[in-house]
Chain A
Amino acid sequence: MLSRSQAKGFFLVGTVLAAGSFLALTVDSFAKVPELTNEKALDEKVQLGKAVWDRSNCMGCHTLLGEGGYYAPELTRVYERRGPTFIRAMLTNPEAMYPGQRRMQKYKLTDQEIDAVIAFFQWIGQMQLNDFPPRPILMPVATIGSSTVVKQADRPKLFNQLCIACHSLEGQGGAVGPKLDGVGSRMTMNQIDVWLHDPGKVKPGTAMPNLGLSEESIRELAAFLSTLTQGGTPPVTPALRQQ
């Protein structure tokens, strides 16, 4: 049977071996970090972004690289998913973006700090993360009968980043604002154009914020949205709910 000194030996040898291998792998990992994380892009602006991120305790609700509070969305690929326009609007006034929804604290950030946070997200988004976050493999199954996945490629990038955060199309997207299926039958391109310039001006008290979109973006979105007529898409609610 095992003696006490053998047991002690097992502990000491095991610990030294494990600690030694761990240190060696850590040293090797640090040597590879610059390439894996595109460290040359880690400039002063990105550093300021991380400082704002830490100072604001963003990790207390959100996750980044999958680490954080599980109360608010994962932000590793947020630059690609939502784009700078959305992030800027969100950081300026979060509750205007998601009225009546789970609340985010409104931080008093300067324009420079907001730019820095966006740059920080952009840098994080370029890291090689062993395929995290994974692509939602069940999406084609979950949305069977719809052509969403195929069609997404044909939509304006801004639509996939911005509009879809609150509105849904063919069952995909948020539920803060009304569905956009058939919006082209309810509004003309011109009406959409005017609406997107300043929703509150067209309909005082509307929940939709002024996103500060550029003329070019508005033209692109209005042209696309006006093609979403009732015929080609599944049955939709007749009127714009909540407005």
Chain B
Amino acid sequence: MKYRTQRIAYPFFALSMLLVLLQIVYGFIMAFAHMGYDGLHDWIPFHVARSTHTNLLLMWLLSGFMGATYYLVPEEVEHDIISEKLAYVQCGAFAVVGVIAIIGFHFSWWEGRKFLEIPRPLDYLVVVDVLLFLYLTGMTIYRGKRRTTTAMVLYFGLVSMALLYLPGMIDTHHQTVDSVWRWWVVHLWVEGVWELIMGGILAFLLLKLAGVDREVVEKWLYVIIGLTFMSGILGTGHHFYFIGLPSYWLWVGGIFSALEPLAFLGMAVYALTLARKGGRKHPNQNALAWTVGCAILSFVGAGFLGFAHTLPQVNRWTHGSLVTAMHGHLAFWGAYAMLVLGIIAYAMPNLTGRKLYDRWYSGYAFWASNIGMVSMTLALAAAGVTQVVLERRAGMDFLLVQKEIQWHFLGMILAASLFTSGMLAYVYTFIRYGLPNPEQFGRSAYDQELGAASAAGEGAVPSPT
């Protein structure tokens, strides 16, 4: 690593690894319950498992984003993070709040609002923690030697994310108004400002891995985030079709949701083109696979599968069915999970000086988890479409339909087992890397392989000499 304080990323990445494994456990609890095996019902009923599963996802992704930011900012702005100690405090506080929230769910301490279950007192702690994070990274950028578009887009995404957390804390007795504010947080996060964070991290990875010209990368970054906001903000309308709001949202939401895949398509074309044209044969092909895979699967999961059921004509049948769960899985995996796994795969050799990216288990981690996740999505698609046809279109009783689709959850569990084996391989690789190595300060793990040829490239890392 070029800067000593980049090692702050490590505990955030480690926290992500822990939480993702826990998330998978709760996923299995839910899949088994769907198959009729709800043996844990008395201790962990489905709704507890569900809230825990989704909140763990949010937490490990956020932890990954924060770790990525601490890793990326010093290198981009050429300045150490202003206080390493405070950054560790911020990491610890985040972990503590997360753990309390998850334990609290098991004792019915929550708000009972999908995705935003974290109880109010903890919300305030999250706000304080995020403010500290934004202060530390913001001041670093402010004091930095240069201000790159990549760092600014990432930071703008992070600030907007913090601001958009606030509407979720507006109290109301009205179910419709409650939903509107909830989507302001959830939709404008994942189909808005998170894409900025994604764009920033992806740009950084492409600069490093493909060695492309910064001018080109950052120009197209603007175009992509422009497309994101133009389609994504009004695309919030696809959540407003059937919750008691005016019918013009069917038009607005329908049209702008249909445009949302463009941003993801742009991201995929951008990553593929730059990765091919970059002209650098980066030694860490594993990190490049995660990066390009992220751009492609985010288009498939978030872009295409989102489009497939947000047209109002389709959504009136699929709204509130397992079709949404199908889209949700591949969207979060492709867009955000793979991104975090990509930056970790890139950063770990630099942080520790070890090179495990050519080992069989890091390759296995990539393929098994991806094939597993795509298969899980297919199983959920079969279950979702069957549910829509039988229950919504033919009017069959809910529980009868659930029995009809139980077998698809066996498929889901098998696919999830493959996925889990991949994730275990990923975490194993992470553990094998060990802790950040002080001898690595000012060095790059990729120096030797990249050689002098790339010294002129933007991604070039200074050699210790």
User: Which residues from chain A sit less than 8 Å from chain B, CB to CB?
Assistant: 2-4, 7-8, 10-11, 14-15, 17-19, 21-22, 25-26, 28-30, 32-33, 36-37, 39, 42, 46-47, 50, 53-61, 63-74, 98, 101-103, 105, 124, 127-134, 136-139, 141-142, 165, 168, 172-176
A201-B353 Cα distance, complex, nearest whole Å: 76
Q: How far is the CA of A65 from the CA of B179 in the complex (A)?
A: 9
Contact A142 B394, beta carbon cutoff 8 Å: yes
- A132 touching B321 by the CB < 8 A rule? no
Q: How far is the CA of A134 from the CA of B312 in the complex (A)?
A: 12
Assess whether B112 is in contact with A130, with CB atoms less than 8 Å apart.
no
A130 engages B174 (CB within 8 Å):
no
Q: In the complex, what residues of A have CB within 8 A of residue B322's CB? A: 70
List of A residues within 8 angstroms of B220 by Cβ: 7
Q: How far is the CB of A117 from chain B (nearest CB, A)?
A: 13
**A18 pairs with B230, CB closer than 8 A:** yes
Q: Counting CB contacts under 8 A, is B354 at the interface?
A: no
For B71, the chain A residues whose CB sits under 8 A away are none
Contact-residue bracket for chain B: 35 or more
Query: Is the beta-carbon distance between A73 and B398 smaller than 8 angstroms?
Result: yes
Say whether A102 contacts B112, CB under 8 Å.
Answer: no
Please, how many angstroms separate the alpha-carbon atoms of A240 and B194 in the complex?
57
- Check B392–A133 contact: CB distance below 8 A: yes
- Are B244 and A56 touching (Cβ within 8 A)? no
Question: Can you give 17 contacting A-B residue pairs, CB < 8 Å?
Answer: A11-B222, A11-B229, A21-B234, A25-B248, A25-B249, A28-B246, A37-B244, A50-B178, A54-B113, A59-B114, A60-B47, A69-B46, A70-B322, A98-B399, A102-B402, A136-B391, A142-B395
- Contact (Cβ within 8 A) B179 A67: yes
A29 surroundings in chain B (CB, below 8 A):
180, 240, 245-246, 249
Q: Does B177 contact A (CB under 8 A)?
A: yes
Give chain B interface residues in 227-263, CB to chain A under 8 Å: 227, 229-234, 236-237, 240-250, 252
Among B34-42, B84-92, B127-135, B204-212, the stretch in contact with A: B34-42
Among A26, A55, A103, A142, point to the contact of B112 (Cβ < 8 A).
A55
Could you tell me if B234 and A18 are in contact, using CB atoms closer than 8 angstroms?
A: yes
* Residue pair A132, B319 in contact (C-beta under 8 Å): yes
| Besides A8-B222, A29-B246, A59-B114, 19 new A-B residue pairs in contact (Cβ under 8 A), listed by A number | A4-B218, A11-B229, A14-B227, A18-B232, A18-B234, A22-B236, A37-B244, A46-B173, A58-B47, A60-B47, A65-B244, A70-B320, A70-B322, A102-B38, A105-B47, A127-B176, A136-B393, A136-B395, A175-B403
Please state if A74 and B316 are interface contacts (CB–CB under 8 Å): no
Q: Is B226 an interface residue (CB 8 A)?
A: yes
A7-B226, A14-B229, A98-B399 known; A33-B176 Cβ under 8 A: yes
> A135 vs B336: C-alpha distance in the bound complex, in angstroms?
37
Which residues does chain B contribute within 8 Å of A138, judged by CB atoms?
A: 389, 393-395
Q: Which of B112, B178, B243 contacts A60 (CB 8 A)?
A: B112
| B394 partner, pick from A70, A103, A136, beta carbons under 8 A | A136
Does B51 sit at the interface, judged by CB under 8 A? Answer: yes
Kindly provide the distance from the CB of A179 to the nearest chain B CB, expressed in whole angstroms.
13
Contact in complex: B223, A33 (CB < 8 Å): no
In the bound assembly, the distance between CA atoms of A59 and B113 in angstroms comes to 7
Q: Map CB proximity to A onto B394-410 as digits: 1 under 8 Å, 0 otherwise.
A: 11111110110000000
Nearest B residue to A43 via CB reads: B173
CA distance in complex: A69, B115 (Å): 11
| Minimum CB distance partner of A128 in chain B | B244
The 8 closest A-B pairs by CB, nearest first: A60-B47, A136-B395, A66-B320, A132-B242, A11-B226, A54-B112, A7-B222, A139-B395
Name B140-156 residues within 8 Å CB distance of A: none
Check A124 against B175 for contact (C-beta < 8 Å).
yes
Contacts of B223 in A (CB 8 A): 2, 7, 10-11
Q: Provide the bound-state CA to CA distance between A21 and B398, in Å.
A: 39
Q: What is the distance, in angstroms, from B152's C-beta to the closest C-beta of chain A? A: 11
Complex CA gap A11/B149 in Å reads 13
Closest chain B residue, CB of each to CB of A30: B177
Q: Please, which residue of chain B has its CB at the minimum distance from the CB of A65?
A: B243
Q: What is the bound-complex CA distance between A61 and B46, given in angstroms?
A: 7
CA separation between A21 and B256, bound complex, in Å?
Answer: 12
A133 contact set on B, CB distance < 8 A: 320, 392
**Nearest residue, chain A, Cβ from B380:** A70
**Contact yes or no, A67 B397, CB < 8 A:** no
Whether B45 is near chain A, meaning CB under 8 Å from some CB there, is: yes
Contact yes or no, A175 B400, CB < 8 A: yes
A136 and B397 contact, CB distance less than 8 A: no
The answer to whether A57 and B243 touch across the interface, beta carbons within 8 angstroms, is: no
CA distance A68 to B322 in the complex (A): 10
Residues in B with CB closer than 8 Å to A11 are 222-223, 225-226, 229
Output the least CB separation between B322 and chain A (Å).
5
A52 to B290, CA, bound (A): 44
Q: How far is the CA of A42 from the CA of B50 in the complex (A)?
A: 29
* Chain B residues numbered 376-423 whose CB sits less than 8 Å from any CB in chain A: 389, 391-400, 402-403
Minimum CB–CB distance from B40 to chain A (whole Å) comes to: 11
The reply to whether the CB of B448 lies closer than 8 angstroms to some CB of chain A is no
Contact in complex: A25, B244 (CB < 8 Å): no
State A28–B130 Cα separation when bound (angstroms). 32
Task: Tell which of B41, B50, B112, B319 touches A56, judged by Cβ atoms closer than 8 Å.
Answer: B112
Expressed in whole angstroms, the minimum distance between the Cβ of A48 and any Cβ of chain B is 9
Query: Which residues of A lie under 8 Å from residue B219 when comparing CB positions?
Result: 2-4, 7
Complex Cα distance, B325 from A142, in Å, reads: 26
Q: How far is the CA of A191 from the CA of B372 in the complex (A)?
A: 56
**A175 to chain B: which residues have CB within 8 Å?**
397, 399-400, 403
Known contacts being A3-B219, A174-B399, is A42 close to B234, with CB within 8 Å?
no
Q: Are A57 and B242 in contact (CB under 8 A)?
A: no
If the complex has contacts A60-B46, A70-B320, are A101 and B399 also in contact, measured as CB distance less than 8 A?
Answer: yes
Cα A124 to Cα B177 with chains together (Å): 13
Question: Interface 1/0s, chain B 19-62, versus A by CB < 8 A?
Answer: 00000000000100110101001000111101100000000000
A36 contact set on B, CB distance < 8 A: 176, 244-246
